[in-house]
Structure 1
Amino acid sequence: MAAAVVPAASSVLLAQAAATGAQPGASAVQTSVGTVQSVSAGTLSLNSDKGGSVSYTLPANVRVLQLAPGSTDLKTAQPASVTDIAEGDRALVSGRAGDNGTATALRVVLMKSGAIAQNNASRQQDWQRRGSGGIVEAVDPAAHTLTVTSGTHKETITTTPSTVFRRYAPGSVKFEEASLSKIDDIHPGDQVRVRGDKSSDGSTIAADEIVSGAFRNVAGLITRVDSGANTVTLNDLATKKPVTIAITGESDLRSLPAEMAARFAARARGGAAGQGGTDAAAGSAGARQGAGGVSAAANSGEGAPGGAARGAGGSGGPAGVAGRPAGGRSGDLSQVITRLPKATLADLKTGEAVMVVASGASGPAGNLTAITLLSGVEPLLAASPQGGANSFSISPWSLGGGEGGGEGAGPQ
């Protein structure tokens, strides 16, 4: 999914650059953003982000500017030439349509693919180092702040005019379809991922970038795996109702190793990592009791497992952050999930407990599509008295490797 992220972020940046620079010519100018498909014999072809191929004639005197990844100000662009344009580069082309249906390029704003890749790696690391997230509790557009909760932790997110906002398209699992947005587009119950500088006490974050979306989180035991239809059906531990979730090529399936699950569960209970064996056993039993409608708390005195979240419209998903990974390094489950082993639909078994972040409105079964699915989670679901919703997040974000994004790496 990492490669797919590049068009979204660079499209946003190129669009911002276009907005800040004077467009050549008058109202007849057409603009296209996409990936360079070919450039030869005075012709440039783009794979447009809007779909299809767009071709421009490149006159010898066409203005070419090279913009560094991450920059949105054309004043920082450096002069370049047609010979600098190569297949795979990102480009914003402004041109004038001709009578024969073709267009002549007036200006090409270029982002080199190699520079984008290098910038991606750097910003992925930055998302990992300075990333946070959670469920939106309140939005104050006048004060330019968000209040976000992650388990029992609450953070105030401060924004400025330079903060970049992106939002997942409704029903989409693709980050490349996330579009430029604003703070007014974020609502209580949404999930957000934030990249920025944290205060010393961790109570506030000055946001450089915020990615938001309305998602549904579901946790439960698998009752059916349909390889023909590419779906998984589970009994939602929160609603005690069956939910069918589609698995697509964009869905990110991961498997949580038993030892790591035990450690997260132990920490969520306030225990030590050494309790892993007990927690793993309790988790497995607890999840199964929960799926049958039996409270683990009533039977064992431990917290009853519940859904990983409630979805949109009364079931807004959580981005709970409870747990610290082994080794004493602070973090959350969502920050390690992209380093977990990959799984496939064929790896999933009936009776197995999973946590899923899905797109799609809450309602009848079958209208959800998995963004992230995590198996091996029985200990986690049993560890939270309120159900996994308030303790753990598997994060819907697709940041392209390592919880973070950047010029091409946005939320994973």
Structure 2
Amino acid sequence: MTRAQFFLTAIGAAAAAHELQSPARTLLGTFEGFVNGGLNLRVKAGDGTPAVVETGAATEVKRVAPGDRSLQHAQTIGLDELKPGDRLLISYAPSSVLARRIVVMPAAAIADRNEALRREWNEHGLSGVVVSKKPGEIVLRQRSLLSESQAAVVLSPATKFRQYRAGSNTYAESQPSSFEQIRAGDQLRARGAKPPDGRRIEADEVVFGTFVIKAGAVLSMDGSSNTLTVRDLDTDRPLPVRLTPASQVKRFPEFPTAPAGMAGAASTPGLPPSPPGPGGPPDLAQMIERLPGFSVQEIKPGDTVVFSASPGKAPGELLAVLVLTNASRLVQMAQARSSRQTQQLPGAIGLGGMNGAGVLDLSGFLP
């Protein structure tokens, strides 16, 4: 399913099926501003390419709320009510260069919806890396600043499954899936009823995806192709990853001193406060999730980054989900923890650490 198809389903599948039966063209993108005296729109398409949308007196502009599956409750608005960042679905009549209809999902409403979803999943959910699964249960590995543990996701016939689309870890863009599609090593979040210790959850809903998490020094940043090339810490070879409009870039805060033995890491200056999880220390993924955004233009050769990515459509292509810059101390912490605990835990350990093959394993700590 393409992003345009997903957007159609989310905001107007019923109306689209009735009114867009002809092979009309559509464009899904983000509104950036007006051109030509406010008659045309400057839009960034889903693949990042710029576009100019021409409008006319007959162009309809409809505003919908995030999650609406029908245009029944859409509001008719004027073009002058568009704001930068609004998501647009533009449809054209056959053989016309003028937009016939523009469906608008306001950026502010999207942000509010996403924040509500984030709170819901943080307060009533748990996350981790899939260790194993069997009918009725999935076992996750969870990581915090100080320890590693396991949690059980209890399934029922009513549990719903969703899967992140390529290049995204956003629930709103996930797609219906099934238990059979879950694999060991997948990143998974579950929402439902859980006891105070937080080590077991009766899942109403599960969302999962396959992500690659890598670390290394930046070799180059090609703005024309939005490609970041990193010298992979595992292989010592160049590894390209493509940034998309959905990619997040954040900066790990400075540490004034190395936190000895990780003591006091929960209150490290620069990290947004994250309350301890039930029965354990703060969750690093949630702390990173709260970090403010960082401009990709500020990434320089030599910077140490850690990134999560999902496979693209092309063979070997990686689409960045989250890029964490200034990450050298985080990598050092993972390596130090590995050296202390190699004799205690088999395989991948701690915040990251070295797995049995001598490869730095950072799975499970990025949101």
TM over 0.5: yes
| Paired AA for residue 65 in structure 1 | K
Q: Secondary structure at the match of 2:182?
A: coil
Q: Secondary structure at the match of 1:390?
A: coil
Evaluate the alpha carbon distance shift between residue 199 and residue 20 of structure 1 in structure 2; reply closer, same or farther with a 3 A threshold: farther
Q: Which of residues 348, 352, 358 in structure 2 aligns to 1:389?
A: 348
Q: Does 1:149 align with 2:141?
A: yes
- Displacement after TM superposition at 1:48 (Å): 2.2
List per-residue Cα deviations over 1:36-57 (Å, max 9, x = no partner).
Answer: 2446666555432144425253
The aligned counterpart of 1:26 is 21
- Cα distance in structure 1, aligned partners of 2:346 and 2:186: 18
- Cα distance in structure 1, aligned partners of 2:236 and 2:29: 41
| Paired AA for residue 333 in structure 1 | L
Evaluate the alpha carbon distance shift between residue 380 and residue 168 of structure 1 in structure 2; reply closer, same or farther with a 3 A threshold: farther
The more displaced of 26-35 and 37-46 is: 37-46
Choose 1 or 2 for highest CA Rg.
1
Evaluate the alpha carbon distance shift between residue 380 and residue 368 of structure 1 in structure 2; reply closer, same or farther with a 3 A threshold: farther
Evaluate the alpha carbon distance shift between residue 344 and residue 54 of structure 1 in structure 2; reply closer, same or farther with a 3 A threshold: closer
- Displacement after TM superposition at 1:252 (Å): 4.5
The aligned counterpart of 1:337 is 288
List per-residue Cα deviations over 1:109-144 (Å, max 9, x = no partner).
Answer: 22122322333444444444345322224567x97x
Evaluate the alpha carbon distance shift between residue 193 and residue 9 of structure 1 in structure 2; reply closer, same or farther with a 3 A threshold: farther
List per-residue Cα deviations over 1:281-305 (Å, max 9, x = no partner).
Answer: xxxxxxxxxxxxxxxxxxxxxxxxx
Indicate the structure whose relative CO is greater, using CA pairs within 8 Å and at least 6 residues apart. Answer: 1
Indicate the structure with greater helix content.
Answer: 1
- Cα distance in structure 2, aligned partners of 1:383 and 1:20: 58
The aligned counterpart of 1:92 is 89
Confirm or deny: 8 A CA contact 2:194 2:201 kept in the other structure.
yes
List per-residue Cα deviations over 1:334-365 (Å, max 9, x = no partner).
Answer: 2223457989667868xxxx97656679xxxx
- Cα distance in structure 2, aligned partners of 1:246 and 1:340: 24
Q: Which of residues 33, 50, 53 in structure 1 aligns to 2:51?
A: 53
TM-score normalised by length of structure 2: 0.61
Q: Does 1:375 align with 2:328?
A: yes
- Displacement after TM superposition at 1:210 (Å): 1.9
The aligned counterpart of 1:3 is none
Q: Secondary structure at the match of 1:29?
A: coil
Q: How many residues align?
A: 312
| Paired AA for residue 380 in structure 1 | R
Q: Which of residues 201, 209, 212 in structure 2 aligns to 1:212?
A: 209
- Cα distance in structure 2, aligned partners of 1:397 and 1:23: 45
- Displacement after TM superposition at 1:212 (Å): 1.4
Confirm or deny: 8 A CA contact 1:138 1:187 kept in the other structure.
no
Which sections of structure 1, spanning at least 5 residues, go unmatched?
A: 1-7, 267-272, 275-322, 362-366, 399-411
Which sections of structure 2, spanning at least 5 residues, go unmatched?
A: 143-147, 222-227, 266-273, 313-317, 353-361
- Displacement after TM superposition at 1:91 (Å): 1.9
Q: Secondary structure at the match of 1:17?
A: helix
Q: Does 1:132 align with 2:83?
A: no
- Displacement after TM superposition at 1:330 (Å): 4.6
- Cα distance in structure 2, aligned partners of 1:28 and 1:247: 34
Q: How large is the Cα RMSD of the aligned pairs? A: 5.1
- Cα distance in structure 2, aligned partners of 1:198 and 1:259: 40
| Paired AA for residue 19 in structure 2 | P
- Displacement after TM superposition at 1:19 (Å): 2.7
The aligned counterpart of 2:356 is none
| Paired AA for residue 94 in structure 1 | S
Q: Does 1:254 align with 2:211?
A: no
